[in-house]
């Protein structure tokens, strides 16, 4: 089970006093059509980049708030995981990137007619962001807008 006891003492102490960002008010968008007709996008915080894309910047104070676009046609085995955190086991993502970016599973669900379609691009970020102000104000709004412009109806978000 995902518990803070998995983390080092230093991380546990940091989290104990960490001011989590409370979303208030909580926005709510009902799904406007059946999932079997909806266009889905993925958002992964596993720090994946495609070959040739710049890695997430481990030296960025407070956490790199940038996004990468991951093509829907990507071969997951080619994804490069650049998450900086030492607080979790990276072996699972390395063995099977679908654990953090389940594009193969989503393709199967679309093939089975359970999802209407898959957007041609998805969002990747590096979730180890302790100071999320720049994410909230500067980077998440335009990233979300790209999916709106694509006509995406629903998104599945996967942390690690």
Nearest-angstrom CA–CA distance, 137 and 36: 33
Separation of CA 6 from chain center = 21
Pick between residue 50 and residue 156 the one whose CB is nearest to another protein. 156
Residue 140 touching another protein (CB under 8 A): yes
Question: Minimum CB separation from another protein for residue 77, in Å?
Answer: 12
Stretch that binds another protein, among 52-60, 68-76, 124-132 (CB under 8 A): 124-132
- With CB under 8 A as the contact rule, the residue among 29, 52, 59, 77 that binds another protein is 29
Pick between residue 54 and residue 159 the one whose CB is nearest to another protein. 159
Question: Of all helices (H) and strands (E), which one includes residue 122?
Answer: strand 121-125
Burial (0-12, 13-18, 19+ Cβ within 10 Å), 125 = buried
Ranges of H-type helices in 74-125: 91-95, 103-111
- With CB under 8 A as the contact rule, the residue among 13, 108, 120, 138 that binds another protein is 108
Residue 76 touching another protein (CB under 8 A): no
């Amino acid at each position: 089970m995902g518990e803070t006891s998995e983390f080092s003492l230093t991380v546990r102490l940091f989290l104990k006093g960490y001011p989590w960002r409370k979303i208030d008010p909580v926005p709510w968008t009902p799904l406007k059509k059946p999932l079997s007709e909806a266009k889905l996008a993925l958002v992964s915080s596993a720090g994946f980049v495609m070959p040739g894309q710049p890695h997430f910047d481990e030296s960025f104070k407070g956490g790199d708030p940038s996004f990468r676009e991951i093509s829907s046609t990507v071969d997951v085995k080619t994804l490069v995981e650049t998450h900086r955190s030492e607080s979790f086991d990276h072996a699972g993502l390395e063995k099977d990137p679908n654990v953090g970016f389940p594009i193969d599973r989503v393709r199967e669900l679309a093939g089975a007619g359970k999802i209407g379609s898959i957007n041609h691009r998805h969002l990747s970020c590096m979730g180890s962001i302790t100071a999320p102000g720049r994410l909230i104000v500067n980077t998440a709004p335009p990233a979300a807008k790209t999916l709106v412009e694509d006509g995406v109806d629903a998104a599945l978000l996967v942390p690690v």
